[in-house]
Amino acid sequence: MEPGPHYPWPADEEAVVAGVMSGTSCDGLDVAVCSVTASGRGAEVGLLEFASTPYPEATSALLRVSSDPAGTLSGFVAELDVRLGRLIAEVACEVAGRHSIDLIASHGHTVCHYPEGGPHLGERCTMQIGRAAVIAEATGLPVASDFRARDLAAGGEGAPLLPYLDWVLLSAPGGAPRSIVNIGGMSNVTHLPGDAPPVGFDTGPGNLVINHAARLADPDLPHDVDGRLAASGTVDEALLGRLMSHPYLSRRPPKSTGREELGEGFVHAVTSEPRAATGADLVATLTRWVARSIARALIDFTPQPGEVVVCGGGAHNPVLTAWLSEELGAPLGLTDDLGVPGDAKEAMGFALLGSELMRGQPANVPSVTGAAGPRLLGSITWA
């Protein structure tokens, strides 16, 4: 496609977009190569290829340091921004090599997210790294990036953004209510009531706290593989009760959170309590907390949760999903069964957001983020 000065893609023309996502868990890059046709509720997104590439441990460690809310030198983050941009370009080209790509839509990696105001100046802000200019220079392709900033500037939370994909691709036939639960580093839900705009928000803790507790129990573990530690541990009911009283959980949507509030620092605070749970017991307690907090959010903040389908890394944890089903008193489905692979969904979502930007189509969902109205999301860096 020949780029024009503004919104160069006709609404009905097919484009091939490589969506790139780096999750809060700092475990790797997801790339979804998608064909995208049309726009808005009529958009069609087809997955051509997907790959998840683990970060080298050194890179994963650097990203965790860059996201430490205790504070990181700006120069370090600036350098990591460039390095991650170079890595995104390399991985995107490797995954997309068999396709003729029109655009790379990169969410990058979130190093801070303060929708209620930061700790230094009180400004509402968000930052994702993975320099778009470096990606464009290395690939020779235009890059869509910085998707959260405009919604935040319009008074929204800037997150979650992927309820837009859920609304377009996962609405139930006939308008039946359906809730999509993504269990990533943080957990979030999109509720699709069918006859009304979507409701969506971060429910609170997710894989991030479980993964960190698993690494504390066994430094050789990247996460609680198959939920084995949780299954072998005993839930500390007193601690679970205190965790459920966390103020974020009772805050009404729109709302979003991140590792600043519910990350490794939070786990360390929990483990410093007198007679704190440790090892498998801590993993079990945090896993039950994730399940219960999601269930509580669905019950408290979504009208008629209806069918519940899950995706994200947490969908691979059989203990977590069993406990979530138990907390809800209902079976769970998978987005895979609805034609959207759960592991690829987030990267597919950014492919769609990049396509919408190039077509001049607003893609935030004000009923989810609380923004003042529909806004174009993202910035374009031309090759």
Asked whether residue 9 is assigned to any structural domain, the reply reads no
Average pLDDT, rounded, for the chain: 93
Tokens of 187: 């957990």
Grade residue 175 by pLDDT with cuts at 50, 70 and 90: confident
- Look at residue 10 in the predicted model and tell me its pLDDT: 84
Q: Are residues 108 and 251 in the same domain?
A: no
Q: Are residues 274 and 374 in the same domain?
A: no
Q: Are residues 211 and 329 in the same domain?
A: yes
Q: Are residues 38 and 157 in the same domain?
A: yes
Task: State how many domains the chain has.
Answer: 2
Q: Are residues 127 and 234 in the same domain?
A: no
- Look at residue 71 in the predicted model and tell me its pLDDT: 61
Nearest-angstrom CA–CA distance, 260 and 68? 7
Q: Are residues 76 and 48 in the same domain?
A: yes
Q: Are residues 119 and 255 in the same domain?
A: no
Helix axis angle, 279-301 relative to 237-244, nearest 10°? Answer: 40
Q: Are residues 139 and 273 in the same domain?
A: no
Grade residue 7 by pLDDT with cuts at 50, 70 and 90: low
Better-scored residue on pLDDT, 166 or 1: 166
Asked whether residue 10 is assigned to any structural domain, the reply reads no
Name the residue type at position 187: S
Sort 280 into a burial class: Cβ within 10 Å, 0-12 / 13-18 / 19+: buried
Asked whether residue 63 is assigned to any structural domain, the reply reads yes
Q: Are residues 196 and 151 in the same domain?
A: no
Q: Region 82-106: what's the mean pLDDT?
A: 96
Q: Region 339-358: what's the mean pLDDT?
A: 97
Length of the chain: 383
CATH number reported for the structural domain that contains residue 374 in this entry: 3.30.420.40
Q: Are the C-beta atoms of residues 366 and 16 closer than 8 Å to each other?
A: no
Domain limits for position 49: 15-161+343-381
- Look at residue 4 in the predicted model and tell me its pLDDT: 43
- Look at residue 199 in the predicted model and tell me its pLDDT: 94
Grade residue 3 by pLDDT with cuts at 50, 70 and 90: very low
Q: Are residues 118 and 178 in the same domain?
A: no
Task: Count the neighbouring beta carbons within 10 Å of the beta carbon of residue 149.
Answer: 18
Grade residue 23 by pLDDT with cuts at 50, 70 and 90: confident
Q: What is the pLDDT of residues 106-149, one digit of tens each?
A: 999 999 999 999 988 899 999 999 999 999 999 999 999 999 99
Asked whether residue 56 is assigned to any structural domain, the reply reads yes
Q: Region 24-41: what's the mean pLDDT?
A: 93
- Look at residue 265 in the predicted model and tell me its pLDDT: 93
Asked whether residue 71 is assigned to any structural domain, the reply reads yes
Q: Are residues 53 and 75 in the same domain?
A: yes
- Look at residue 320 in the predicted model and tell me its pLDDT: 98
Residue of 194, 168, 353, 207 lying closest to 291 (CA atoms): 207
- Look at residue 1 in the predicted model and tell me its pLDDT: 41
- Look at residue 329 in the predicted model and tell me its pLDDT: 96
Sort 96 into a burial class: Cβ within 10 Å, 0-12 / 13-18 / 19+: buried
Asked whether residue 233 is assigned to any structural domain, the reply reads yes
Asked whether residue 81 is assigned to any structural domain, the reply reads yes
How much of the chain exceeds pLDDT 90, in percent? 84
Q: Are residues 235 and 287 in the same domain?
A: yes
Question: Which residues fall within 8 angstroms of residue 209, CB to CB, at 6 or more apart?
Answer: 262, 263, 266, 267, 286, 289, 290
Asked whether residue 135 is assigned to any structural domain, the reply reads yes
Q: Region 60-74: what's the mean pLDDT?
A: 78
- 3-state SS class at 23: coil
Residue 70, pLDDT above cutoff 80: no
